[in-house]
Amino acid sequence: MSAPTWLLDGNRARLNLQAFSVLVDADRPVDGLSQLLVADQAWKMASLFSIVGATLSARPPTLVDWYVRGNDLAATYETSHVDAARLDIQWSAAESQNHAPWSARLDMLVSVRTDRLDWQPDVRLQSSVPSSEVRHIAAESPASCTLGRADPAVRCHWFQPSHCTWSLVLMIHPADVLASALEGDGSLPPTSKLIYHLFRPEMLEKGVILRARARALIVSAGVNAEAIAGCYEQFIAADPPLGI
């Protein structure tokens, strides 16, 4: 019998892939995916896909559901301030098959809905990644990316840490995001802060659900930019998930 993909311990869950492991603390969505292990190597100071924004900043959201189903981990939150909303998060993990250019994949699906007649959502995904080089990836022209000068239209970022045999790719579906921002924090080692501003600037009406799709890939050092661009193309061409 294969080992479970997610190991639950109360309101915490540990991803249990061979090449990639992260911690999810359901009580602290602002922490995102923390305590990263890549190829059994701790990636200190790294965190991925923290949930931030005005929707969650007034007071901590209340966890109302939390469960594992196969390779999926899901959490549901209710906010209790004036911008009352429901937030659903689903993480889906997979290991490489059929000689894919990545060794581990983690998808994130974020859904928001409200009981108000209309509401302006403010939800962002924020990642902090220690990395010596960052490249933004487009299907037609992979390019180097300078911290603080990233094109806000870029939806795929490739982080290459120093002295590692692997790298990290983060991407967001272009239909689900308003803009992206990439900043340096001046620390040593250099750390990039990547923010995806989710959803278009439109009012969310009662009964409507907005969804955003993000993906993290662990890839080997020998993978080139064209292969990364191909992974991004596959991601944006895939059918929307049937989940939350």
What is the domain extent for residue 82? 46-237
Look at residue 175 and tell me if it is in a domain: yes
Q: Which helix (H) or strand (E) holds 225?
A: helix 225-237
- pLDDT category, 167, cuts 50, 70, 90? very high
- Report d(CA 22, CA 16) in Å as an integer: 8
Say what percent of the chain tops pLDDT 70: 81
For the ranges 66-70, 82-86, 155-159, 232-236, which has the lowest average pLDDT? Answer: 82-86
Look at residue 107 and tell me if it is in a domain: yes
- CATH code, domain with 113: 2.70.98.10
Q: CB burial class (10 A; 0-12, 13-18, 19+) of residue 97?
A: exposed
pLDDT score at 147: 46
- Whether the upstream peptide bond of residue 189 has omega within 30° of 0, thus cis, is yes
Higher pLDDT, 39 or 90: 90
Paired sense of beta strands 102-114 and 166-172, if any: unpaired
pLDDT score at 55: 64
Look at residue 93 and tell me if it is in a domain: yes
For the cut 80, the answer to whether the pLDDT of residue 185 exceeds it is no
For the ranges 72-81, 177-186, 212-221, 225-234, which has the lowest average pLDDT? Answer: 177-186
pLDDT score at 1: 45
pLDDT score at 221: 77
Look at residue 140 and tell me if it is in a domain: yes
Its sign, for the CA torsion 217, 228, 214, 180, is positive
Mean pLDDT, residues 87-109 taken together: 91
- Computed over every residue of the chain, the mean pLDDT equals 83
CA distances from 143 to 26, 118, 134, 217 (A): 36, 40, 9, 18
DSSP 8-state secondary structure symbol assigned to residue 61:
P
Tally of domains in the chain: 1
- pLDDT category, 112, cuts 50, 70, 90? confident
Note the residue count of the chain.
244
DSSP 8-state secondary structure symbol assigned to residue 99:
T
Q: What pTM was computed for the model?
A: 0.88
Contact residues for 76 (Cβ-Cβ < 8 A; gap 6+): 63, 64, 65, 66, 86, 87, 88, 89, 244
Mean pLDDT, residues 178-189 taken together: 75
Look at residue 38 and tell me if it is in a domain: no
Look at residue 184 and tell me if it is in a domain: yes
Look at residue 30 and tell me if it is in a domain: no
For the cut 80, the answer to whether the pLDDT of residue 21 exceeds it is yes
Higher pLDDT, 206 or 161: 161
Higher pLDDT, 12 or 142: 12
Mean pLDDT, residues 178-190 taken together: 75
Look at residue 193 and tell me if it is in a domain: yes
Mean pLDDT, residues 154-168 taken together: 86
Contact yes or no for 48/93 (Cβ under 8 A): no
- Report d(CA 32, CA 176) in Å as an integer: 19
